Structures are given as C-alpha cells and as structure tokens.
C-alpha cells in the first residue's frame, strides 16, 4: 500500500484561478492555472465582480481535468485559501472546496494566502527550517516576517503606504505601459541595462527612507511615485527605458536595505522570499548577491510559483495535515494561522 499523501490546493484570493494536485507536499502532479490578466487589463486593474465570476466559470473544466488523474482518487486533504483576498473570489474557492470535502470525505484545511507564499519554495526541493525570515512582495503586500513555525509568524516590517507591486502598476500607468506594470517595467529596465553595461548612471529619482533606523524594516513607495510624476512633468521627452531602470533601482534598494538590516539584527540567516514581485529576475539576482556577500541562505521559488497558484496552497496544506491530521479544520477557519503583531 502506498505511503504517499496526496492533496488538493485551491487558490482564488484575487484574479488567478488555481487548483493543484500535490504529492507529499513537495511534488506537483498537476497545477492548472487560469490568469484573468487579459480581462482586467482593459480596466487598468482587478475588477472584483469580474474576478469572482471568472473563477466560477473556469473551475468546472479545471476540476474535470484534475479528476482524470489516478491520484485524485487517493486525496487525503483539501487545502483552500480563506484569507486575505477579495471576498467574492474567496467564497467561490471555499464553496468549491467544501463541496469536494463532502464528496471525498477528507479534511478541509483553511490556508492563509500570505503564509502559503513563504512555503512555495518547498515545491522546488527546498527545505525550510525554523526560524527563518519571510519576505513578501506583491501587488498588495510588502512585508518581512519572522517565521517560528506553522501559523506562527511575527510581523517585523510592513509598508507605510503602497505595496511594491502596486507602485509598479501605478508607475507603469504614468509611463503609458500596460497592466500589470511589474513585468513591463522589468522588460524596459532590462533593455536599458543591456545598453549601458559599463557606464556609470546617475539616477534622478530620490533615495527613499535614507534616515530609517537600522532596527526598522519599513517599506514606502508613495514618495517614489510622486518623484516619478514630477520628473515626467518636467521632462516630457524622457527615455522610457531609462526611467523604468531608475524606478526599479530605487524600488529594490529599499528591499535590499530592509533585508540586510533584518538579517543583521535578528541573527536569522535564512530568507524565504515570494510573491509576484519576486518573479522579477533582477530582484532575484540582487538578493542572491546580497546573500552571498552577507553570508545568509536565500530561498525563492521558480518564477511560475512566485505568483498566485494552487500548488503553494496544497503544499502548505500538507504541512498542516501532517501536523494534526485528525483536527477538525472546518471549525477554525477564522483563526488559522496566528499572525503575531
């Protein structure tokens, strides 16, 4: 008899429809994902009502495809995102998970979306040992956590205003680049960097949080957006590639500074970084070099697993299932996990 544990992960917190079949918490058997970007691109951002409707439309065919796998009949648990996110989108995913629970007669494990991001690296063969620092960079989050166990995360630093990914979206809108802004700015910045490999470049955008104490790990992007706005007003014939490079450099300087200070002050020498912004290859390279220079371990998932997906939900669900397989998770949906302030 097989000792393997199979699970389902369901993700519908925003505008990605994901359902995955996971083996032993670290192997992906199937990870179908439907992105709604093309729909929301017409409006310059996510439209909540459309997002929930598209989740509902796409799930039947995605679930039907997943049911074709032999392992589907051996599922031991179902993990589903229950917070945070768009309420309509979350309800779609939860009720689909609830229906599957009744059919398959297995535990339903509620998952905190942000915690799941930090464990996505285990799907690429990485082993996360406690304690570690967790970096979350996305359209809605810019934060650093200390992680001491399952559901035991202490917030060390958050954003004072905009999230990093949100700032990229708004900067792209100012530059008349398509939504989502992060990938577009990354492309333009890369083009400029390739053309100026050896040159010393003067960045006209200001350095933010210059005077922030070393024991603070706060993010702030509103000032950078304002500086970009006035620069564009005063320089109408700007080079878009150059400006994208400048904006990206300043945005990531804040990330590097916070991580360096957090590593030094906590003494924790392991960093797990995830979220949509971590799909940026320039940022991954910068943090890899920072880790090498400051002698700490840097872990991040592959590009496809940085953004929202069902596999990361199933992977974290496996850890909760292993921890307490007999627990009645349905009664603790509003309280798992515990995020310490």
- Same domain for 286 and 146: yes
- Residue 231 neighbours by CB under 8 Å, 6+ apart: 204, 205, 238, 243
Q: Given this model, what pLDDT does residue 338 score? A: 40
- Same domain for 271 and 155: yes
- Same domain for 289 and 213: yes
- Residue 314 neighbours by CB under 8 Å, 6+ apart: 7, 8, 9, 20, 21, 22, 25, 79
Residue 86 lies in a domain: yes
Domain harbouring 223, CATH code: 3.30.420.40
- Same domain for 214 and 332: no
Per-residue pLDDT of the chain (341 residues; tens, 9 = 90+): 468 999 999 999 988 899 999 999 999 999 998 887 788 877 777 887 888 898 889 888 999 999 999 999 999 999 999 988 899 999 999 999 999 999 999 999 999 999 999 999 999 888 899 999 999 999 889 999 999 999 899 999 999 999 999 999 999 999 999 988 999 999 999 999 998 766 678 899 999 888 888 888 999 999 999 999 999 999 989 999 999 999 999 999 999 999 999 999 999 999 999 999 999 999 999 999 999 999 999 999 999 999 999 999 999 999 999 886 555 555 444 444 443 43
Q: Given this model, what pLDDT does residue 39 score? A: 80
pLDDT tens string 194-246 = 987 666 788 999 998 888 888 889 999 999 999 999 999 999 899 999 999 99
Mark residue 163 as left, alpha or beta (left: phi above 0; alpha: psi -120 to 50; beta: remaining). Answer: beta
- Residue 103 neighbours by CB under 8 Å, 6+ apart: none
DSSP 85: S
Q: Given this model, what pLDDT does residue 325 score? A: 56
- Same domain for 218 and 196: yes
- Same domain for 281 and 155: yes
Residue 46 lies in a domain: yes
Residue 315 lies in a domain: yes
Q: Mean pLDDT, the chain, as a whole number? A: 90
- Residue 301 neighbours by CB under 8 Å, 6+ apart: 120, 121, 123, 124, 126, 274, 278, 312
Main-chain phi, psi angles of 128, to 5 degrees: -100, 120
- Same domain for 174 and 63: no
Q: Given this model, what pLDDT does residue 189 score? A: 96
How far, in Å, CA of 81 to CA of 95, rounded?
A: 11
CB 271 within 8 A of CB 135: yes
> Could you tell me the pTM of the whole model?
0.89
Largest CA distance in the chain: 71
- Same domain for 277 and 156: yes
Tell the burial category of 266 from Cβ atoms under 10 Å away from its Cβ (0-12, 13-18, 19+): middle
Q: Given this model, what pLDDT does residue 326 score? A: 54
Give the domain range for residue 98: 6-122+307-340
Q: Given this model, what pLDDT does residue 337 score? A: 42
Residue 1 lies in a domain: no
- Same domain for 117 and 134: no
Residue 17 lies in a domain: yes
CB 185 within 8 A of CB 170: no
- Same domain for 312 and 220: no
- Same domain for 192 and 58: no
Residue 240 lies in a domain: yes
Q: Given this model, what pLDDT does residue 256 score? A: 96
Residue 255 lies in a domain: yes
Residue 267 lies in a domain: yes
Q: Given this model, what pLDDT does residue 203 score? A: 92
- Residue 44 neighbours by CB under 8 Å, 6+ apart: 173, 179
Q: Given this model, what pLDDT does residue 323 score? A: 80
In the chain, the number of structural domains is 2
């Amino acid at each position: 008899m097989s000792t393997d544990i199979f699970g389902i992960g369901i993700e519908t917190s925003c505008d990605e429809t994901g359902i995955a079949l996971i083996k032993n918490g670290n192997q992906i058997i199937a990870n179908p994902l439907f992105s709604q970007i093309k729909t929301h691109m017409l409006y310059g951002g996510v439209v909540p009502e459309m997002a929930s409707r598209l989740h509902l439309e796409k799930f039947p065919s995605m679930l039907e495809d997943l049911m074709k796998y032999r392992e589907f009949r051996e599922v031991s648990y179902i993990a589903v995102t229950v917070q945070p996110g768009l309420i309509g989108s979350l309800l779609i995913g939860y009720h689909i998970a609830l229906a599957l629970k009744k059919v398959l007669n297995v535990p339903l494990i509620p998952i905190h979306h942000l915690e799941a991001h930090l464990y996505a690296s285990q799907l690429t063969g990485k082993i996360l040992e406690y304690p570690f620092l967790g970096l979350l960079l996305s359209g809605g989050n810019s934060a650093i956590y200390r992680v001491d166990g399952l559901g035991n995360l202490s917030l060390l630093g958050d954003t004072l205003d905009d999230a990093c990914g949100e700032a990229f979206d708004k900067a792209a809108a100012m530059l008349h680049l398509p939504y989502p802004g992060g990938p577009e700015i990354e492309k333009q910045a890369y083009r400029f960097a390739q053309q100026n490999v050896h040159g010393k470049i003067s960045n006209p955008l200001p350095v933010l949080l210059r005077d922030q104490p070393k024991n603070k790990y706060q993010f702030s992007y509103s000032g950078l957006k304002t500086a970009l706005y006035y620069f564009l007003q005063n320089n109408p014939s700007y080079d878009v590639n150059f400006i994208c490079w400048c904006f990206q450099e300043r945005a990531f300087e804040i990330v590097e500074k916070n991580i360096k200070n957090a590593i030094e002050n906590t003494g924790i020498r392991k960093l797990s970084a995830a979220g949509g912004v971590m799909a940026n290859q320039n940022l991954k390279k910068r943090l890899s070099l920072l880790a090498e220079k400051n002698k700490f371990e840097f872990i991040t998932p592959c590009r496809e697993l940085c953004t929202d997906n069902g596999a990361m939900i199933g992977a974290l669900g496996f850890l909760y299932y292993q921890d307490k397989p007999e627990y009645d998770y349905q009664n603790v949906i509003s309280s798992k996990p515990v995020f310490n302030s």
